[in-house]
């Protein structure tokens, strides 16, 4: 029977997607839920899993081609072997539920044992659906451009009863931390992704079945002593199905080959007997746990390794036996593999440097710059980089941009911060950086200069915002991100500091939600955080202005002292740059706005809010 693979809906307002890479070719065998292809949209990059097991009969859409949601991408042919594999699965599936204790000796002694691996191997590939009463719990799309999530905590364990829409687990992504509810009521039969493990959007997290199925999942737990370091929920599920245990930790390519080889030798017992010499796990139940144990044991002292991590390690050429896992129970995470790969590349490229001569006292030393591995390469532009590029070009093509710069003496701000930072941190729970002073001064001035906090509409009208939602441009590993401080004009210094710290933490650790990134009316970019004196920044379209903060530099300035008159003193100086759309904001408007911000900062009247 032919099964059609279509492009699913991948987010709000997503109407089409581009096939970036096929992970399988025509004629190859694939298991249900195994990644089939990679698709990119304007909001998300993700893998599309196979809806059924079988052979890829045809690929309808080539790489780099774009199709609409619902379009047919490929056709999977079940073949004559799929119904045969599914038929015996119905009877053995009922036997473990009725008599789990009797199943293990049957697998070891009965002649029918060689036939059991075939339906057992089919069960994981189809998830709970293969058992007839199971419902897969999958990782849903959790925001724009979110392609994977990390399970931070399971709220239920195998064998627990769950109600529909009851929180089942907690998941963390790079943009949102949330709970995943149970899609249906029943008993939690299987946990496919352990805590601190990462799975891709659409991947199976667990299986929920009828209440009577719980003992079948929990009973075989004692039969998994070969993997004492693994998480309990997964061995408990895989132990009664001998081939399923190696199928989970094994690389994604391993299951398809035995699956194709099994239909012929599955019925006659003699061909199954010589099999232990080659695919030992698929031949006998007792040998299944023992076969992968030697390979898995050295990896981080026996810690469980997900198929996703194994695949990544294989692609990066990382030996998992040398990787120290930082996850729960010493598990090796995706980040561990990436760090190991980067460390190996850096070590391989590092030239044999001679012993450095001791630096002269007080003389600064130049940093040792390593050549980038990107030199000489042509690579595909990352999705987030492409979105940033498109928005930058749209801003330049849609606006008449101009920049105005003023110089501000922030010596008093730095003095106030030095006096108040310890008490502020103890009272508010966050550090007091200079940034909240600039945000508050900018927000206050926006109320008096509506043209700077506005928007030009396509119909020729102007919208003057009645709220100051200030975006903070942040440089992250994934690219430029602009989380938004909502209603910054109504917040005091402490409120701005707390919100700034919260958003900065989300950018560093992941967890920014769609609401955190939307609704901005004005943006502030701290270009001086990397030492730049000032920058002619590009406005964050469709806003009409953006403020750039340069580096704070101590240098001699002429000041008018009340007692000494004009004199030279060491002052903390900073450049403020306002880039704006000259279609709406004139140079005089920009200068007036900047001078109001300058006056607020140089006056430094923040003692009341700082408790001084």
Which residues have a catalytic role annotated?
Answer: 582, 586
Q: What is the C-alpha separation between 272 and 553, in angstroms, rounded?
A: 77
Cα distance between the two ends of the chain: 77
* 309 vs 198: CA distance, rounded Å: 8
Could you give the strand order of the β-sheet that contains 72-77, starting from the edge strand earlier in sequence? 2-6, 72-77, 54-59, 29-30
d(CA 231, CA 158): 12
Query: How far is residue 141 CA from its own chain's centroid?
Result: 11
Q: Which helix (H) or strand (E) holds 273?
A: none
Please state, in angstroms and rounded to a whole number, the distance separating the CA atoms of residues 301 and 144.
Answer: 37
The helix/strand/coil state of 386 is helix
Please tell me the distance from the alpha carbon of residue 405 to that of residue 588, in angstroms, as a whole number: 12
Q: How many CB atoms lie within 10 A of CB 79?
A: 18
Q: Is 345 helix (H, G, I), strand (E, B) or coil?
A: helix
Buried b (16+ CB within 10 A) or exposed e, 278-304: ebbbbbbbebbbebbbeebbebbebbb
- Enumerate residues 6+ apart whose C-beta is below 8 A from 274: none
Bridge partners of 561, per DSSP, are: 565
Which sign, positive or negative, has the C-alpha torsion 523, 413, 602, 611?
Answer: positive
Dihedral over Cα of 304, 309, 315, 316: its sign: negative
Q: Are 416 and 606 in contact (CB under 8 A)?
A: yes
Between CA 345 and CA 350, with CA 348 as vertex, the angle to 5 degrees is 100
144, two tokens: 């724009």
Q: CA-CA distance, 207 to 182, in Å (whole number)? A: 10
Could you tell me how many helices (H) and strands (E) the chain has, helices first?
A: 19, 26
Buried b (16+ CB within 10 A) or exposed e, 444-473: ebbeebebbbbbbeeeeeeeebebbbbbbb
Judge whether 174 and 512 are in contact, CB under 8 Å.
yes
The number of residues in the chain equals: 612
Contacts with 385 (C-beta within 8 Å, 6 or more apart), sequence order: 479
């Amino acid at each position: 029977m032919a099964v059609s693979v279509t492009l699913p809906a991948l987010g709000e307002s997503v109407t089409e997607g581009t096939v970036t890479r096929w992970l399988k070719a025509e004629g190859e065998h694939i298991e249900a839920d195994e990644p089939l292809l990679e698709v990119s949209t304007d909001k998300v990059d993700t893998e599309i899993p196979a809806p059924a097991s079988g052979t890829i009969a045809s690929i309808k859409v080539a790489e780099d081609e774009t199709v609409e949601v619902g379009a047919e991408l490929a056709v999977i042919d079940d073949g004559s072997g799929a119904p045969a594999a599914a038929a015996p699965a119905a009877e053995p599936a009922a036997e473990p539920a009725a008599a789990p204790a009797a199943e293990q000796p049957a697998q070891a002694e009965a002649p029918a044992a060689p036939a059991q691996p075939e339906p057992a191997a089919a069960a994981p590939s189809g998830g709970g659906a293969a058992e007839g009463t199971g419902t897969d719990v999958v990782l849903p799309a959790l925001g724009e451009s979110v392609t994977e999530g990390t399970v931070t905590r399971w709220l239920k364990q195998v064998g627990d009863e769950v109600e529909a829409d009851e929180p089942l687990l907690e998941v963390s992504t790079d943009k949102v931390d949330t709970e995943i509810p149970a899609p249906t009521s029943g008993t939690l039969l299987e946990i496919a992704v352990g805590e601190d493990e990462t799975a891709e959007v659409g991947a199976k997290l667990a299986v929920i079945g009828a209440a009577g199925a719980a003992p079948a999942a929990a009973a075989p737990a004692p039969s998994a002593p070969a993997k004492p370091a693994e998480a309990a929920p997964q061995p408990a599920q895989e132990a009664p199905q001998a081939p399923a245990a190696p199928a989970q930790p094994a690389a994604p390519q391993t299951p398809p080959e035995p699956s194709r080889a099994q239909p012929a030798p599955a019925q006659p017992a003699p061909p199954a007997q010589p099999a232990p010499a080659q695919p030992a796990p698929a031949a006998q139940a007792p040998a299944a746990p023992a076969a992968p144990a030697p390979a898995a044991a050295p990896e981080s002292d026996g810690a469980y390794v997900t198929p996703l991590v194994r695949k990544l390690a294989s692609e990066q050429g990382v030996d998992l036996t040398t990787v120290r896992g930082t996850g729960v129970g010493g598990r090796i995470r995706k980040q561990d593999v990436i760090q190991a790969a980067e460390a190996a590349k850096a070590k391989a490229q590092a030239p044999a440097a001679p012993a450095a001569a001791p630096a002269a006292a007080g003389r600064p030393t130049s940093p040792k710059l390593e050549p980038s591995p990107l030199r000489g390469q042509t690579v595909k532009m990352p999705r987030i980089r492409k979105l940033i590029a498109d928005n930058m070009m749209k801003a330049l093509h849609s606006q008449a941009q101009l920049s105005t710069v003023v110089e501000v003496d922030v010596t008093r701000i730095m003095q106030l911060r030095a006096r108040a930072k310890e008490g502020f941190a103890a009272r508010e729970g966050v550090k007091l950086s200079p940034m909240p002073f600039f945000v508050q001064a900018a927000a206050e001035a926006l109320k008096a200069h509506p043209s700077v906090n506005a928007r030009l509409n396509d119909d020729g009208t102007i919208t003057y915002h009645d709220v100051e939602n200030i975006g903070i441009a942040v440089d992250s590993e994934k690219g430029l991100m602009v989380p938004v401080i909502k209603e910054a004009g109504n917040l005091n210094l402490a409120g701005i500091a707390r919100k700034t710290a919260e958003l900065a933490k989300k950018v560093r650790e992941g967890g920014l939600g769609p609401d955190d990134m939307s609704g901005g009316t004005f943006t502030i970019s701290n270009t001086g955080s990397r030492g730049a004196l000032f920058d002619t920044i590009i406005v964050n379209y469709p806003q009409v202005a953006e403020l750039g903060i340069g580096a704070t530099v101590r240098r001699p300035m002429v000041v008018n002292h009340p007692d000494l008159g004009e004199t030279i003193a060491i002052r903390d100086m900073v450049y403020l740059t306002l880039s704006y759309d000259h279609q709406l904001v004139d140079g005089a408007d920009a200068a007036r706005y900047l001078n109001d911000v300058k006056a607020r900062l140089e006056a430094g009247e923040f003692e009341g809010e700082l408790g001084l």
